Copies of this chain bind each other. A is one copy, B any other.
Amino acid sequence: MNTKHQKISVAVDVLLFTISDDKLQIVLTKRSSEPFKDMYCLPGVSLQENETPEEAAERSLRERTGLTDIFLEQLYTFGDTERDPRSRTISIAYYALTDPDKLLSSNLNEAAVLMPADRILSGRIKLAFDHKKIIEYGRMRLKGKVSYSDIAFEFVPEDFTLPQLQKVYEILLGEELYKANFRKMISPKVEATGEMLTGLAHRPSRLYRRKKARP
């Protein structure tokens, strides 16, 4: 094989998860030009010579959703040779997590929509490029990571109720949890704020926040 230093286009695509309407949702944008015109895809940018992949992912988030300073981590690099019909392009995919309030108060681009992950993964929505594959991979990573890390907290506001947090765990894991088991698992990680959440739709409920790690 002739192994020249060939140059290749590099995309950085961001899989932004949030939870709203008790569903895991993903931010998609509609393509305005060919290829895949009018189809949904993940928000992405072309990696520039003077930026790191992480900076490009932050730029994509900022331009499409107005969000900054949220959880962002590299997911995987997708490099099938036929994934972009225009020219050879690899995609460094990142995933990001946000609570829905932050997203709704942000400057979400008009072309951006929230789409339930289940609906995308069932195949009812056809996505551009290999973005369905990226979402499948990201969904798997998210589920795995919930079990051994604290990423579930990224989906709730700073102050939250325990039922609210339990619901997030259930949505991410895709299964119902016993309240007693959940409370036992979560209690070392949270502390009461001393405030109550009040409202007409439910009984007053204690508010909690994430316990700060000891220095």
Interface residues of A (CB under 8 A from B): 1-10, 45-54, 59, 74, 76-77, 79-81, 87-88, 90, 92, 148
On whether the beta carbons of A7 and B5 are closer than 8 Å, the reply is no
- Chain B residue with minimal CB distance to A80? B52
Interface residue from B46, B51, B79, B87 paired with A81 (Cβ < 8 Å):
B51
Q: List 13 A-B contacts (CB under 8 A).
A: A1-B59, A2-B48, A5-B9, A5-B87, A6-B46, A7-B8, A7-B9, A8-B8, A8-B9, A8-B47, A47-B90, A52-B80, A53-B90
Residues of chain B contacted by A79 (CB below 8 angstroms):
47, 52-54, 92
Extra pairs beyond A1-B48, A8-B49, A53-B90 (10, CB < 8 Å)? A4-B46, A6-B46, A8-B9, A8-B47, A10-B10, A47-B79, A52-B81, A53-B79, A74-B76, A90-B92
On whether the beta carbons of A6 and B53 are closer than 8 Å, the reply is no
Shortest CB-to-CB span from A48 to chain B, Å, is: 6
Q: Which residue of B lies closest to A77 (CB)?
A: B77
**Contact residues in B for A4 (Cβ distance below 8 Å):** 46, 48
With a 10 A CB-CB cut-off, give which of A48, A74, A79 has the most chain B CB atoms. Answer: A79
